[in-house]
């Protein structure tokens, strides 16, 4: 029996750097394998300890269950600790993730749109070309529709 397939984890943005290197006189001595910190583990650490959210809120943001989130978080801490203690490089890569893009709303035609090219900033509405666009705060604009459908 093959194990169950992992669900996709949502990561808001890739980390700024690809990893971390130890320094000091003994740093290069053990040229060992780096510790591989998965993107989802990086995201778990960011949500929990940088944005100060609790595990439940963070699990919702990543689209996994709370127990799964706790496991990802524990694994992140374990790997970082191993890197620190053993003086290993930490490389941030891999993992079963997708990157959630930002959503915007146009003031002119009231449409919503996302930005699939994260590096480039969107200046105009893709539909009507209006320059008055604002970031859309909710998770996805779709949630709202679902609520209205239920209300009817």
Partner 1 sequence: MKVAITSTGNTLESLLDQRFGRCACFVIYDTESKAIQFIPNPNKDAEEGTGSASVEFVASRAVQKIVSGRFGVKIEPILDSLKIQMIVIKEPKKKIKDIIKMLDH
CA dihedral 127, 132, 138, 142 (to 10 degrees): -20
Q: Which positions touch partner 1 (CB under 8 A)?
A: 8, 10, 98-101, 109-117, 126-129, 140-142, 145
- Tokens representing 32? 């060992």
C-beta of 71 vs 96, nearer to partner 1: 96
C-beta of 75 vs 115, nearer to partner 1: 115
Q: How far is the CB of 141 from partner 1 (least distance, A)?
A: 5
C-beta of 117 vs 121, nearer to partner 1: 117
Q: How far is the CB of 34 from partner 1 (least distance, A)?
A: 26
What is the number of other CB atoms lying within 10 angstroms of the CB of residue 116? 10
Angstrom distances, CA of residue 122 to CA of 88, 105, 135: 39, 11, 10
C-beta of 32 vs 145, nearer to partner 1: 145
Spatial separation of the C-alpha atoms in residues 40 and 98, rounded to whole Å = 9
Query: Strand 97-99 vs strand 112-114: parallel, antiparallel, or unpaired?
Result: unpaired
What is the number of other CB atoms lying within 10 angstroms of the CB of residue 13? 12
């Amino acid at each position: 029996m093959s194990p169950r397939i992992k669900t996709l984890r949502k990561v808001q943005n890739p980390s700024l750097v690809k990893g971390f290197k130890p320094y000091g006189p003994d740093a290069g001595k053990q040229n060992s394998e780096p510790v591989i910190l998965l993107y989802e583990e990086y995201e778990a650490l960011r949500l929990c300890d940088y944005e100060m959210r609790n595990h439940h809120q963070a699990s919702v943001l990543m689209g996994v269950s709370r127990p799964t989130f706790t496991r990802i978080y524990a694994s992140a801490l374990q790997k970082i600790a191993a890197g620190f203690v053993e003086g290993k490089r930490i490389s941030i890569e891999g993992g079963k993730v997708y990157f959630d893009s930002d959503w915007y709303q146009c003031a002119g035609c009231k449409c919503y749109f996302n930005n699939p090219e994260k590096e480039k900033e969107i200046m105009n509405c893709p539909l009507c070309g209006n320059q008055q666009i604002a970031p859309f705060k909710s998770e996805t604009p779709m949630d709202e529709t679902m609520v209205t459908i239920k209300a009817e």
